[in-house]
Amino acid sequence: MSAPDPGFAEFFREGLPVVTRTLTALSGDTRVVEDIAQDAFVIAQHRWNDIRAYDKPQAWVLKVAIRLMRRWQQRHGHETPLAEVPVAVQPTPDVEALHSALRELSPRHRETVALHHLLGYSVSEIAAVLTVGESTVRTHLTRGRAELRRILGGSDE
């Protein structure tokens, strides 16, 4: 077996924390998230000659990781709860209400809203990760926000 490509090793070191953090924000089960993130990178390593030429290879790995996470959730008949993304402030009732409301969204709306608002992904980055068009991302964001406002009692924020 040949030695690992040093470019992949660097990609893995830089990308694993990002993929793990993203999956944790979307799913909440850190044990499963770590395994899924590593599995996505194993798949990427096997296809590294192609993937390294992509404009956004990390988006490709995130897409694979999210698909693996969805399959795991389907096999186990449930979705794991949305994790609280670590923040510098103590959780407040408002933050807890937001996380509770996010858990009530459909998986696609939850993924889109969490990727955009909790993790700071742009519309184009979300589109690449979820393999949908940017207009679809904007639609999911609009609908997800509207649903959050309804769940949270009509707040405009």
pLDDT at 87 over 80: no
Q: How many CB atoms lie within 10 A of CB 2?
A: 4
Does one domain contain both 104 and 134?
Answer: yes
Does one domain contain both 46 and 67?
Answer: yes
Does one domain contain both 99 and 132?
Answer: yes
Name the pTM for this structure: 0.67
Does one domain contain both 16 and 45?
Answer: yes
Lowest pLDDT segment from 21-30, 65-74, 127-136: 21-30
Q: What is the per-residue pLDDT for 79?
A: 52
**What CATH number is attached to the domain comprising 151?**
1.10.10.10
Structurally, the chain folds into a number of domains equal to 2
Tokens of 74: 């389907």
Does one domain contain both 49 and 16?
Answer: yes
Q: Which domain holds residue 148?
A: 89-157
Tokens of 148: 């959050």
Q: What is the per-residue pLDDT for 123?
A: 94
Does one domain contain both 109 and 57?
Answer: no
